[in-house]
Structure 1
Amino acid sequence: MTTVEEGPDGATAEGSRWLDARPAGAAEARDLTAAYLAEQGPRVPQPVRDDVLLVVSELVTNALRHAGGARGLRVALRPAGVEVTVQDGSTRRPVERGHGRNWLPGGYGWPMVCRLAEVAVVPLGSDGKLVRATVPVRRN
């Protein structure tokens, strides 16, 4: 089920709105996130929107390919930036795959997410984990 909810957690400075979704795939996750970010107007500049869409795509794709599926997606504008949280069913932490000098397919998304965002992995025990990535709105 896909919803945009309001709640008491102070998701934005002007109100508390966030996107909660259970996307079937990365394309749906990107579309929902793009619509949410469009609602935020100029508070989220276009370069940041582009980074957020890339992070969403990579995290949802990784959940689908390596962690039994995306159980949930939350996107929220926070004071620190745009926070993207993906829940999956795996207890395993994401890992960076080394390619050495070989050009091999796959393994490039997680390092890219870590470069674009502040990342935290929150274990949920038998319920899997949350991968939370905050893309800063203001770059230094």
Structure 2
Amino acid sequence: MTGLTSEEARRIARQVLASQETEALVDDVLMVVSELVSNAVRHAGGVTGFSVRCDTGAVVVEVADASATHPRSPGTSAEVPGGFGWLLVNRLAERTEVRSRPGGKTITAFLHRPPHLPLPPAGH
């Protein structure tokens, strides 16, 4: 899976989302997928695991890589660039988790899935 690109990951995410009532989340999910996958490729030697699933209350994006280094937000030091993608992921996701594991880490982003609103009765 180390050869997974952001484009391929977005295609997979679109396929998962196409069968669900997630229209309102598509752009946010695709942005989170792009950021997490591109960061794994750029900073962690590539993606070692990837999944997108729709749970009852959220769309869940998981990206695993081979680096034990956790993402950081901007503001750490003016001399160290970057961190803005992680900030964006945390703004779009309701919650994020970073779990260390042997051989790397897994980042999970939970994007709130609004309840489906029923159509109003005919004639109203």
TM bin, normalised by shorter chain, reads 0.7 to 0.9
Return the index of the structure with the highest Cα Rg.
2
Work out whether 1:134 is the aligned partner of 2:110.
yes
Residues 12-47 of structure 1, C-alpha deviations (whole Å, 9 max, x = no match):
xxxxxxxxxx6621011001111111122xx21x23
2:13 maps to what in 1? 33
Q: Distance in 1 between matches of 2:74 and 2:35?
A: 15
**Match for residue 52 of structure 2?**
75
Relative to structure 1, is the Cα distance of residues 133 and 23 closer, same or farther in structure 2, using a 3 angstrom cutoff? farther
Aligned to 1:9: none
Secondary structure class of the residue paired with 1:110? helix
Give me the TM-score of the superposition, normalised by structure 2.
0.81
Deviations 1:24-73, CA, capped at 9 Å, x for gaps:
21011001111111122xx21x2311111110010000100111111111
Asked whether 1:113 is paired with 2:93, we answer: no
Structure 1 regions of 5+ residues with no counterpart? 2-21
Aligned structure 1 segments of 4 or more residues deviating by more than 4 angstroms: none
Q: Are the counterparts in 1 of residues 52 and 59 from structure 2 also a CA contact under 8 Å? A: yes
Q: Percent identity?
A: 41
Distance 1:84 1:78 in 2: 11
In 2, Cα distance between the equivalents of 1:92 and 1:106? 14
Matches within 5 A, 1:1-140: 24-40=4-20, 43-44=21-22, 46-98=23-75, 106-117=82-93, 118-125=95-102, 127-138=103-114
8 Å contact from structure 1 (residues 23, 72) kept in 2: no
Give per-residue Cα distances to partners, 1:120-140, cap 9 Å, x unaligned: 001103x2010000100128x
May I ask how many residue pairs the two structures share in their alignment? 113
Structure 2 unpaired stretches of 5+: 116-124
The question of whether the paired residues in 2 share the 8 Å contact of 1:97 and 1:107 is answered with: yes
Q: What's the offset of the Cα at 1:98?
A: 2.4
